[in-house]
Every structure is written in structure tokens, then in C-alpha cells.
Structure 1
Amino acid sequence: MRMRLSTAAAGFLLLAGIGAAAAQDVVIAPEQETVIREYVKKQPLASVKIPGVELNIGSTLPETVELHEVPDTEYRYVVVDNRTVVVDPGTRKIIKIIE
């Protein structure tokens, strides 16, 4: 009986971890993505270099990188290595890379 409880508890914790990871994913609504794409096209920024940071969804940008507001959204953006990245300002994590 004790073994079953341990197995069940381990399974529950594993599933809880998967659920928490999925909850951290940020999904931008299509309407907001259109607003973001149009805005960054009209407001180009100079590209910056950030040594040691890989440009991937989920990568965190350092506090030294200035993020720029996208009006009518909760997101910020910056151009890194000539690629526009959309960032969650609360976590500074990259949530979208606009090619």
C-alpha cells in the first residue's frame, strides 16, 4: 500500500510540473500580434548586441537591455542582432521572435 501511494504521489508531482510549465507559455492573440508587427515596422530600432544571450523563446534578457513599449499591448520589444524580439516585461523573457 505504501508503494502505491509513493508512486501515485510521484505521478501527481510530475503532472503538476508539466502543468506549471505549460502555464508559463505566453500566447499572443492574433489581433495583438498584428498590432505588434505593424507597430515595430513603423518604429524601427537600432539593433543591439547582447553577448552570451541566445535568441530563443524563453531566453531572458538582462536588465541592461532597454525594452520599448508597444502601445495597446502589455508587451515590449527590442531589436537584437537584427531580429525583433517581443518580451514579457514582467519576466524579461522572449515570447516571440519576429522575422
Structure 2
Amino acid sequence: MRTNFKIAAAAVLLLAGVGAAAAQDVVITPEQDTVVREYVKKQPLASVKVPGVELNVGTALPDTVEVHEIPNVKYRYAVIDNRTVLVDPGTRKIVKVYD
């Protein structure tokens, strides 16, 4: 009984740590969000099609998709299927999808 309790407690702590780490990965402040939205409006890109790629946070874009820099912002952007996505340049993972 005691061993089961220890295992359960360890599992809860592990899952809590994973959730906390995931929540800290991407933080886009309201100010950054405003900068991104304004920049994207001023610098429109042609939309590209990427078959087989779902536009969800965490999805990695293939190397064939060109991502574009936004001055003073850590992330890059692309327009895919008429939706703007914010991308981590190091991992190429989508961090935000704008509708």
C-alpha cells in the first residue's frame, strides 16, 4: 500500500512538472502580440499551401516553408492556408496561430 502511494505521488509530481514546463515555453506579451499583428498587416505575405501540416500550436513546419523575421521579436512568421502563424525559429514549431 505504501509503495503504491509513493508511486502515485511521484507520478503526480512528474505530471505537474511537465505541465509547468510546457506553460513556460512560450510567453507572448500583449505588447509583442500587438507588434506582430501590426507588422503582419504592413508586411503581407502570399499564402502558401503545405499539404499534410495541421496549423496547431506545437506543429513543426517543414524546412520548405520560409519563415520571415519580425524586427525586435524572437519569433518568425509565415502565412499558410491564409492563416498567419508565429514560429519558433530554433525548432520551427508553431507557437501561435492568428485567424
TM-score (norm 2): 0.85
Query: Which secondary structure does the structure 1 equivalent of 2:47 belong to?
Result: coil
**Structure 1 residues 80 and 12: CA distance shift in structure 2, 3 A:** same
Shift of 1:75: 1.0
Is 1:89 the counterpart of 2:96? The answer is no
Residues 8 and 78 (structure 1), Cα distance of their counterparts in 2 relative to 1, 3 Å cut: same
Distance 1:3 1:54 in 2: 40
Alignment of 1:1-99 (within 5 A): 1-24=2-25, 26-99=26-99
In the TM superposition, structure 1's runs of 4+ consecutive aligned residues that sit over 6 Å from their partners are none
Q: Tell me the percent identity.
A: 63
Alignment RMSD, CA only? 1.6
Q: CA deviation at 1:46?
A: 1.0
Distance 1:83 1:45 in 2: 10
Give the 3-state SS of the residue equivalent to 2:10 in structure 1.
Answer: helix
Question: For residues 2 and 64 of structure 1, what CA distance do their matches in structure 2 show?
Answer: 51
Equivalent-residue separation in structure 2 for 1:47 and 1:98 (angstroms): 13
Where in structure 1 are there 5+ consecutive unaligned residues? none
Q: Distance in 1 between matches of 2:73 and 2:33?
A: 9
